[in-house]
């Protein structure tokens, strides 16, 4: 994937994740706790692919830091929203998804 295309997709994907994460919810859409963490894992796993494709230098580190920052930023915003809640375990699931994505892409490139 070309770097410029990956950057555009990363921006759109990131904005989509932010938008969905701050939408008001009346009841939890995902009642199963484990499924929620799996979804977090895969959302940030995919985001890591676009990050790695977007950055040129220190792309693995920059990708992890981007995903960590965005996930923490979203959780912090949710803390202040009356219809959402902060969950540190979401940040952990996001980070694990990113680490898995970095590891997989690193292995595929070798």
82 backbone dihedrals φ, ψ, rounded to 5°:
-65, -20
Helix (H) or strand (E) holding 71: helix 59-80
Q: Read off the pLDDT of residues 29-69 as tens digits, 9 standing for 90 and up.
A: 555 678 889 999 999 999 999 999 998 878 999 999 999 99
Q: Read off the pLDDT of residues 7-28 as tens digits, 9 standing for 90 and up.
A: 999 999 999 999 999 998 766 5
Q: Read off the pLDDT of residues 71-100 as tens digits, 9 standing for 90 and up.
A: 999 999 999 999 898 999 999 999 999 999
């Amino acid at each position: 994937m070309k770097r410029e295309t990956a950057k555009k997709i990363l921006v759109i994907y990131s904005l989509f994740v932010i938008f969905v994460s701050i939408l008001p919810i009346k009841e939890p859409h995902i009642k199963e706790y484990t499924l929620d963490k799996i979804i977090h894992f895969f959302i940030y796993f995919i985001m890591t692919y676009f990050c790695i494709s977007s950055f040129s230098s220190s792309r693995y580190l920059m990708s992890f830091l981007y995903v960590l920052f965005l996930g923490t930023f979203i959780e912090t915003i949710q803390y202040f929203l009356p219809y959402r809640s902060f969950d540190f375990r979401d940040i952990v699931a996001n980070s694990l998804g990113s680490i898995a994505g970095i590891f997989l892409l690193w292995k595929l490139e070798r």
